[in-house]
Amino acid sequence: MSGILVIGGGVAGSATGLALQKAGFEVTVHEAHPRTGADIGAFLTLASNGMQALAQIGAAGPVAGHGFPVTGMRFVDESGARLESVPLGEDEPSLHYRCMRRAELGAALQEEAHRRGLALRYSARLVALEEDDKGVTARFADGSSATGELLVGADGLRSAVRVHLDPAALPVYAGQSIFYGYTRDPAAGAGLEPDTLTMVRGSRVLFGCLVSPVGETFWFARLRGPAVGAEEAAVTPPGTWRDRLVALLRPDRSPAADIVRATEDKLMVTNAVRLTPGIRWHSRRVVLVGDAAHAAPPATGQGASMAFEDAVVLAKALRDAPHREAALELYAHHRRPRAERNIAVSALLTASGPPDWISIANARGGRSTLRRLSHLDEGLLRQLDWATPLTAPTAPTAPTA
């Protein structure tokens, strides 16, 4: 028995596999789904901190081959009048925010993993795990099993690994359903500024949209109210959601209703959920990364970027700490405050609604909360920098008399 088992080959799992491989560990990633390039629908933005983390494991290039850069955010009111504009991210082009489909991001990371010879098993769904002094064993739905020294739970929002560590830690609905769509209708994106996320603080719906360099408009709409049930989501045709949204957006004079109306079938719905801070992140041989540890509503757009930070910091901790248990403590020490702050800020933004939307720009005393989450200050740069050892917290010095 040797090596590290990563459960989940999504955004966090693929990046963690690459980081652990770079740190010299023998690692196998076990992904529940078969290998497929299917687009599951939604898009996301990667922030400067996420691009910096990817650069540390040599994966920024492959990812930057997808999507398009986003350098600013513009808020308008329900009449379409500009309220405020804020810059997004670092000035360095390689660290610009990028917007892309989630499936493109996942596929880019998995391709890179294959290119580097990282062991990535598909159709391997974890159903149980056991740990003791000798090792940790993962059992899969197909009857196979694998044993290693450490198991990393990168299995997302509904993590089976988290259930093993902390069975009571379940995601809770954060109060918004979120709709995503795309349209290639040139009229829909005509008034949008390139490289800019436009946020419409509508009278009933918070709406966001971007136009890609090839003229495709990506949009989302966040609606406060009861969660959309799984069955309702599965059986409701996209056209029905579209008509309901258009009816809610139409009283406003922003471009939102026309953009949604121009959308054909590329429309999906999901619920914003979050984990409660303070859950158990690790045992002696099992540790969580990504959404499994700190799922947040998407309001700050930091979920994937936080997962990339986890990947780098966990690999550095295992590389630099004197032993495995110290490494897991070190990882949680560095990552928990930042990841849980993202949950708190995202939850605050998600709870806000019309007519007093809290914008990301003024959620905290007029300073840009988003900028502070993505800003590469010296501490974060040191934490992520591959060449800089990850240091243990220093004991507080005794007060002098």
Q: Candidates 30, 222, 242, 334: give the one binding ligand FAD (CB under 6 A).
A: 30
Classify residue 225 as left (phi > 0), alpha (psi -120 to 50) or beta: left
Classify residue 179 as left (phi > 0), alpha (psi -120 to 50) or beta: beta
Residues numbered 170 to 189 that lie near ligand FAD (CB under 6 A) are 178
Q: Pattern 126-155, binding to ligand FAD, x per CB under 6 A?
A: x---------------------------xx
210 is a site residue for ligand FAD (CB under 6 A): no
Rounded to a whole number of angstroms, the minimum distance from the CB of residue 323 to ligand FAD is 26
169 is a site residue for ligand FAD (CB under 6 A): no
110 touches 9 (CB < 8 A) = yes
Binding window for ligand FAD (CB under 6 A); candidates: 42-50, 208-216, 235-243, 355-363: 42-50
59 is a site residue for ligand FAD (CB under 6 A): no
Q: Candidates 5, 118, 129, 160: give the one binding ligand FAD (CB under 6 A).
A: 160
212 is a site residue for ligand FAD (CB under 6 A): no
Spell out the residues 6+ positions from residue 396 whose beta carbon is closer than 8 angstroms to its own. Answer: none
Q: Pattern 229-268, binding to ligand FAD, x per CB under 6 A?
A: ----------------------------------------
353 is a site residue for ligand FAD (CB under 6 A): no
Of 157 and 376, the one with the shorter C-beta distance to ligand FAD is 157
Of 78 and 310, the one with the shorter C-beta distance to ligand FAD is 310
- Residue labelled with tokens 């690999």: 315
Binding window for ligand FAD (CB under 6 A); candidates: 25-33, 108-116, 351-359, 377-385: 25-33
Partner residues linked to 121 by β-bridges: 30
Q: Candidates 31, 78, 90, 309: give the one binding ligand FAD (CB under 6 A).
A: 31
> What is the contact surface with ligand FAD in residues (CB under 6 A)?
7-13, 30-33, 42, 44-45, 102, 125-126, 154-157, 160, 178, 270, 290-292, 298, 301-305, 307
